[in-house]
Structure 1
Amino acid sequence: MDTSTLALVLLACCATGWFVLAGADIGTGMLLPYLGGSAAERRLVIASFAPFFLGNEVWLIATAGVLTGCFPDLEGALLTGQFPALVVLLTGWVVRDLGLWSRGRGPGRRWRALCDGAVTAGSWTLALATGWLLTAVLTGRPYEPAGGPVAVLGALAVAALFAAHGLSFAALRLTGVPYERARRLVGRSRRPWHSFALTAVLLGGLPLAAGHVLAPGGHAADPATLRLLVPVLLAVMVPMVAVQAWIWRLFRHRVTGASYL
């Protein structure tokens, strides 16, 4: 397998990893007001994805790194063409993380309610911005923002898929009343991970479909650059996957109490 093909595989793995893994905590954050009716319940909901969200975000950073290093022409064109969507996406990311980190560090219920609102709003913004960007790519216009009803419907459809993925994740992780709320929508299957697997496959297919449209192989860096970068990226990818697997195994049980957030 040549270096350009390896670079494509790395890009696909990183992008798919972010959609599937980070999609779980983004979707759960979107449903925070529904799953958590009280401050204590919302803290339990946040505890369900608190151990994962930082590690999950690494996959988005890795995607940007592979795109910039191995496919610089495509990265530049997307950055220019999808600048509005990317600004909205990053804004949602910052707002969501600010709410998560600040929730347990301020006084009073109003502060926690404000932070919970930031988590929810930031999560929705992230999901909608991702849908807006994907709509432009999948409709064959990757170098300009999508507009009109197609953009609205595409953004809402992707956001709904994020929410469904988060709901399935919540059904696997929560206990008590929040779990019952999640299970009410997911269903009472004896194997709730089936729903999570289904939404993971659907979400993971989105970046692969976008990659098919973009055909990044035609925008690869020169062979000398790829021969330098790809082995380094592969060396980084192995421990990244190992640590991610270890985290998900370590925190595989349902949550019963609050986290540090």
Structure 2
Amino acid sequence: MEVIWFVFFAALLAGYFALEGFDLGVGLLLPLLGRTRETRDRMVAAVAPYVLANEVWLVAVAGTLFGVYPLLEGEVLFGLYPLVVAMLLSWIVRDAGLWFRRRLDGSAWRGFWDAAIAFGSLGLSFGWGMALYAAATGFESPPVHPLGVLLGVVMTLLFALHGWTFLAWRTPGEFGGTRSGRALLGTGLVAAIPALGVLAGAMPYLLGHSAPPATLNVLSVMVLPFAPIMLGAQIWVWRTFRPGKDAFRFPSFF
């Protein structure tokens, strides 16, 4: 049962990096590619249908982490407390930008919230790199370390590449290129590699510090039946908003 939950947790974490990665990447590219208000509107509209569905994966990751590996809760929350707070604030700022940018019609208003989207995306991307470094060292090294900063830069660049590939797939030709679904899948896998590498190294520790078998059995009954529903909803979103089918039917609140 411990192995099954480890595989499930790894799949959730990889899914989050591969899916939320292009959301963050588009936010990172907003100041670079969005040189006009109309262009920024197109970039946000392209990613809008996927944001909420992608964020569900992070909720699932957090729930699985604290349910299956309860001993890590203290290490993650207390060992990385400042970083976790900074990432949560970045998440709030990014989502606030998505929700509020169209509440009023004005260049200053839109510009402020577009900057919030970019800043929040940068904080999350950079923060994930530093968090992965701390996890790779068993939380014995602080995330603000030259290697942690380097990994933060790497994750930011990987997410930016993934975001550009998404735009080139979602809106062919509008942002300097056209990419296929396979290319998008490829950059998604590349974005997830650092997280999977850390998990692979931590596998012996995680398997040895899983929750008791009785707890895992209860979680299996309560959680695993809902996994196909989450996956099915994700498939529905991608099929509904894929290029060439309702290509510009975007949620009005973004």
Instruction: Settle same-fold status: TM greater than 0.5.
Output: yes
The Cα offsets for residues 140-160 of structure 1, whole Å up to 9 and x where unpaired, read as: 242442233222211101111
Secondary structure at the residue paired with 2:107?
helix
Identity %: 36
Match of 1:170 among 154, 167, 170: 167
Question: What is the root-mean-square deviation of aligned Cα atoms in Å?
Answer: 1.8
Task: Name the residue aligned to 1:228.
Answer: 218
Of 214, 219, 233, the residue aligned with 2:209 is 219
Instruction: Work out the CA distance in 2 between the residues paired with 1:160 and 1:12.
Output: 22
For 2:239, the equivalent position in structure 1 comes to 249
Q: Deviations over 1:42-73 (max 9, x none)?
A: 01100111000011000000000001111100
60-69 or 9-18, which deviates more = 9-18
CA contact (8 A) 1:44 1:258 kept: no
What is the letter of the counterpart of residue 192 of structure 1?
S
Q: C-alpha distance in 2, partners of 1:213/1:142?
A: 13
Q: Which consecutive unaligned segments of at least 5 residues does structure 1 have?
A: none
Q: 1:224 to 1:8 in 2, by over 3 A?
A: same
The DSSP-based 3-state class of the residue aligned with 2:101 is: helix
Please report the TM-score for the alignment, with normalisation by the length of structure 2.
Answer: 0.92
Shift of 1:256: 4.7
Structure 1 residue 4 corresponds to structure 2 residue 2: yes
Given candidates 49, 54, 70, the residue that maps to 2:52 is 54
Choose from 191, 194, 209 the match for 2:197: 209
Q: Point out the more displaced range, 11-20 or 204-213.
A: 204-213
- Look up the match of 1:147: 144
Structural mapping, 1:173-188, within 5 Å: 173-175=170-172, 179-181=174-176, 183=177
What TM-score, normalized to structure 1? 0.89
Mapped to 1, the partners of 2:164 and 2:29 lie a distance apart of 7
Shift in Å, 1:213: 2.6
Cα deviation for residue 245 of structure 1 reads 0.6
Q: Contact 2:29–2:118 at 8 Å: present in 1 too? A: yes
The match for 1:21 among 19, 22, 25 is 19
CA distance 1:160–1:82, shift in 2 (3 Å): same
| Distance in structure 1 (CA, Å) of the matches to 2:114 and 2:161 | 20
* Whole-angstrom CA distance in 2 between matches of 1:157 and 1:168: 17
Give a deviation string over 1:5-45, Cα, whole Å, max 9, x none.
Answer: 22112211111110001101110111012222111110110
**What do the CA deviations read for 1:64-86 (whole angstroms, capped 9, x no partner)?**
00011111002222222122221
Kindly indicate whether the alpha-carbon contact (under 8 Å) linking 1:89 and 1:125 is maintained by their aligned counterparts in 2. Answer: yes
Matched, 1:195 2:183: yes
Match of 1:160 in 2: 157
1:196 counterpart letter in structure 2? L
**1:259: Cα distance to partner?**
4.8
User: Is this contact kept in 2: 1:22–1:56, CA < 8 A?
Assistant: yes
Give the corresponding residue for 2:227: 237
Mean Cα deviation higher: 232-241 or 80-89: 80-89
Query: In the TM superposition, what whole-angstrom CA distance separates every residue of 1:150-188 from its partner, at most 9, and x where no partner exists?
Result: 222111011111111111111101256xx233x2xxxx6
Native 8 Å contact 1:6 1:230 kept in 2: no
Q: 1:258 to 1:245 in 2, by over 3 A?
A: closer
Q: Which amino acid aligns with 1:180?
A: F
Provide the rounded CA distance (Å) in 2 between the counterparts of 1:35 and 1:14.
30
